[in-house]
Chains A and B, each alone.
Chain A
Amino acid sequence: MDTNSSFSNEQVDISMIPSVKDIELTGLDKNHLTVDLIATGIIWSIIGIGLSVSFFFNSDEIETWIARIVLIVLLFIIICSFCLLIFGFKKKKYALREKDIIYQEGLFWRTYTVLPFNRVQHAEVQQGPIERLFSLGKLKIYTAGGSSSDLAISGLQYETAQSMKHYILHQTSIDEEE
């Protein structure tokens, strides 16, 4: 079926295959941590205020020590979630290669993804309201492998995200032409 006369199939030395080990990964923009902390802070303050208000108005029915324990546990969870964000931030790194994009994340549960450009279906840059304040953006790359194999990298400078998107789509189209 392949009528391409330039077809070749030479033996490949395994040690010559480019390795992901040699790649230097780039960290995310520092403001990404700030954005994450603000967003998480807002969510926790809403929950915290809601709980406190409901305790205040039901103080007759709820024993004080129960309320104290709940609030202490909540505080503990909040501190943990902030710690996870702060320490997890350093673990989020990415790299672009000629033919694929690499992304790693996770403090305790770590993932390391390599996504070849010739499998990209679609790429886009998203920006939430807090991200807009810091001119950050989120690069989303879709493949045909379903939601589990789509890649999202947040905490990129908006300009960087845009140019990465263009680069990826350009590389994808080159591949299709070949």
Chain B
Amino acid sequence: MKKNDVFSVPQRQSRFAIIFIVLRSVKRIISQLWPLLLAALLGRGGSSRFDTLELAIAGIGLIGIIPAIIGYFKYYFHLSDTELIIHKGLFKKVKLNIPFERIQSVNFTQTAIHQFLKVTEVEIETAGSTEQETKIDALDIPTAELLRKRILEKKAAVTQLTGEFSDVQEEVELETEERTTILKLPTRELLKVGLVQNHLKPLGLILGLCSTIFYYSYTFDWDFDPRTFLRTAFSYVEDLDYYLAIVVIILILIASVLYSIVTTVLRYYNLHFWRAGNKFQVVQGLFTRQEFAALDNKVQILNWGQNPLERLIGFYNIVFSQAKSGEVKKGSAKFKIPGCSIEQVEFVQEAWLGIKGLPFDKYSTVSPHFFYHTAMYLLLFSSILTAGAIYAGKILSALMIILILIIFLYLNWINYKKKRYAINSTELYVGGGTLGLRHSLLPLYKIQDVNIVENPYQWRRKLSTLVVNTAGGAIKIPYIPKEEALKLMDELIYEVERSKKSWM
């Protein structure tokens, strides 16, 4: 390993890193000085001469950028036998020592600029929660891959040598390690995935945007009036006002579907999801190539399910809930793989649990009070509204409220009917959903603590909600008999206290 190991001497990043460092500091400066910038832009009026304010801003900008550039030349990293060592800092010299056994995974992220320059950002994820995020802005891809290989090799060597952490799973990726592809999404499949995403989210976004435009066009005297614009655009339609509403609704629906397709393609383009050693890995994205790794021991809850549209064409999505440590990026703590088949879901389950999951003897349902309690509030609230509407003489509104009430009651009823849970000697399962389906699976040794919570409605009827906390989020079993909740609590706690397995 020693000979031609380039990483034993301090190394700089790829020269292109300067670009990213400068971009980052420009972003920081803009985010701090944007009121000034705005003032300068607006105050400039028609004159083309630079005034003092603009010069000052340019000056501050330059002063901010120069240290960033020098910072690049002061940044070195190398590998010793036991640690990754990073030297950095312009005025305050910083030496970061990251022992290999603390390193959880080495992730690559490529933005469009990275891809163009054929470099990648390298992020080193550590187990500690207080550790600062360690990032190398740019390395050319062969170097980055070699670096990752070396780190993981040395990590494996260190772990074997000390014999520590022997029961803790570690990321070991050697050249010989096999990659089992679980899922690849070709473009056609990807478009399908986009088509079955939750379109309500972009719908809300677009409605918000539209109402903002209408609001401003009312409040300020804009040249652009959306109503006139629409009237002109669809002037060939007779009986305009009636059709206009329908046209706008259709346009908005199309726009939200398009929006989800575009975001899906941007995010999941060329998705490759595979299993290697003791981790799941995914590479995805059109402009920004993202790479996430989920180590088996870091994943706390495995979720899979379908939204109503996904049910129609038989797609499943998988969501890994990982343990959150202080600096882990939001995206990597919980990440989602769309467009899977049920076989792929089962494969992931089995691979993660290490064994074929034990079957559950029986699936228990929750108390119907889960439905009654919400229904009670729905009825109360809507009867007040209906009474008000009838009193005001608005019969149509009253009918609408009753219709909405019926829909909500129905959804609530399905939600109760679908809620179920099961436990065996090693795992806890909770499933449910309204129009879609969502399943969560959790090995018992990953539980952090167990709570029983009761609202007045519940304790008067000897019912409880069981809340199981893990490092990757909570699982709730609502409205079960108190006796049952206490029994479950005893069993879960017993397994946690007995288990010698580390939850991470």
Interface residues, chain A, with chain B CB atoms under 8 Å away: 1-4, 12, 14, 17-21, 99-100, 106, 108-116, 118-119, 143-146, 148-149, 151, 178
Contacts and interface: CB of A to CB of B under 8 A. Distances in A.
Interface in B449-504: 449-456, 459, 469-471, 473-474, 486-487, 489-491, 493-494, 496-497, 500, 503-504
A118 B497 contact: yes
Given A20-B490, A112-B452, A148 B496 contact: no
Contacts of A111: 451-454
Nearest to A14: B491
Given A109-B453, A110-B459, A114-B449, A17 B489 contact: no
A17 B449 contact: no
Contacts of A109: 453-456
Given A2-B167, A14-B491, 18 more contacts: A4-B500, A14-B487, A17-B490, A17-B494, A100-B497, A110-B452, A111-B453, A113-B451, A114-B451, A115-B448, A119-B448, A143-B448, A146-B324, A146-B469, A146-B473, A149-B451, A151-B449, A178-B500
A1 B277 CA distance: 14
Given A20-B486, A110-B459, A146-B471, A100 B453 contact: no
Contacts of A21: 486
B486 A118 contact: no
A99 B500 CA distance: 13
B469 A145 contact: yes
A19 B473 CA distance: 25
Contact of B469 (A19, A20, A110, A148): A148
A148 to B, nearest CB: 6
A4 B500 CA distance: 11
Nearest to A117: B497
Contacts of B470: 145
12 contacts: A19-B490, A99-B497, A109-B454, A109-B455, A114-B489, A114-B493, A118-B496, A119-B448, A144-B448, A146-B471, A149-B449, A149-B451
A1 B489 contact: no
Given A19-B486, A115-B449, A144-B448, A108 B455 contact: yes
Contact of B471 (A19, A20, A113, A145): A145
Nearest to A107: B456
A178 to B, nearest CB: 7
**Among all A-B residue pairs, the 3 with the closest Cβ atoms:** A145-B448, A149-B469, A145-B469
A110 B451 CA distance: 10
A18 B490 contact: yes
Interface of B: 166-167, 323-324, 447-456, 459, 469-471, 473-474, 486-487, 489-491, 493-494, 496-497, 500, 503-504
Contact of A144 (B323, B454, B474, B486): B323
Contact of B493 (A100, A108, A144): A100
A122 B449 CA distance: 14
B481 to A, nearest CB: 13
A119 B493 contact: no
A155 to B, nearest CB: 20
A4 B167 CA distance: 10
Nearest to B474: A148
A27 to B, nearest CB: 19
A12 B324 CA distance: 33
Contacts of B451: 111-114, 149
A95 to B, nearest CB: 13
Contacts of A178: 500
Contacts of A115: 448-449
Contact of A1 (B167, B447, B450, B494): B167
B167 A144 contact: no
A109 B455 CA distance: 5
Nearest to A19: B490
A109 B167 CA distance: 41
B452 A116 contact: no
Contact of A113 (B449, B455, B503): B449
B450 to A, nearest CB: 5
A95 B504 CA distance: 28
Contacts of A99: 497
A39 B352 CA distance: 50
A146 B323 CA distance: 9
A146 B449 CA distance: 11
Contacts of A2: 167
B503 A119 contact: yes
Contacts of B486: 19-21
Given A1-B167, A109-B456, A119-B503, A20 B489 contact: yes
B469 A17 contact: no
Contact of A116 (B166, B167, B473, B497): B497
Nearest to A118: B497
A1 B165 CA distance: 12
A115 B487 CA distance: 16
Contacts of A20: 486, 489-490, 493
Contacts of A113: 449-452
Nearest to A143: B448
A3 B391 CA distance: 76
Nearest to A3: B166
A52 to B, nearest CB: 34
- Residue with the highest number of chain B CB atoms closer than 10 Å, among A18, A99, A145: A145
Contacts of B487: 14, 19
A43 to B, nearest CB: 26
Nearest to B471: A144
A2 B503 CA distance: 15
Given A20-B486, A109-B455, A149-B449, A143 B469 contact: yes
Nearest to B453: A111
